[in-house]
Amino acid sequence: MAQDWSKLTVLTYPDARLRKRCAPAKSFDADLASLAKRMLELMREHRGIGLAAAQVGVNVRLFVMNPTDEPANDKVYVNPELRDLVGGKEDEEGCLSLPEIRVQVRRATRARLVAYDVSGNPVEVEDSDLVARVWQHEIDHLDGVLIIDRMGPSDAIATRKQLKELSAKAKSVAGKKK
């Protein structure tokens, strides 16, 4: 029986599921396609350009992205691997799981991505700048890595209060559920 993904939401820091390394997808079926569709909906609702399965609490190596907001440019990558990382540039990044937080992160400026689409067809693409940055950001999520793990000391100081507030909010919500 297929899963009902309609209740999925974007997890926020410090949810422990954001720190888990995701397992490779083993089956390319209607359930996986349905998950990807729901993730694209959530990405749009939250005005993001990428969303990893870890961010919705699903332990599978899958991410969706669209840097243009044109539905024809929706991309789904399953079991992605980065290759041939070239260059390096520091730039500002945000994250749907860390609302209101923006930090400087150094990323490769060009990369090759090897993955599968939701039907299990191999995909191999090369890109640069924003697209390459999104790939690296989302694959970090699949490995349990957040942008706050890659920020420098000045951003760590600048975001300390916001991170404490996110933690306090999570504790408050958890307390109300008991």
Give pLDDT tens digits for 48-57: 999 999 999 9
Q: Tell whether 9 is covered by a domain.
A: no
Q: Are 105 and 147 in contact (CB under 8 A)?
A: yes
Give the catalytic positions in this structure. 138
Range of the domain at 141: 16-169
Q: Tell whether 110 is covered by a domain.
A: yes
* CATH number of the domain bearing residue 150: 3.90.45.10
Percent over 70 (pLDDT), the chain:
97
Q: How confident is the model at residue 69 (pLDDT cuts 50, 70, 90)?
A: confident
Q: Tell whether 2 is covered by a domain.
A: no
The pTM assigned to this predicted structure is 0.93
Q: Tell whether 76 is covered by a domain.
A: yes
121-145 pLDDT, tens per residue?
Answer: 999 999 999 999 999 999 999 999 9
Please report the pLDDT score of residue 172 as a whole number. Answer: 78
160-173 pLDDT, tens per residue?
Answer: 999 999 999 888 77
Given the DSSP bridges, would you call strands 50-52 and 122-128 parallel, antiparallel or unpaired?
unpaired
Could you tell me which residues come within 8 angstroms of residue 46 by beta carbon, excluding any fewer than 6 positions away? Answer: 10, 96
Number of domains in the chain: 1
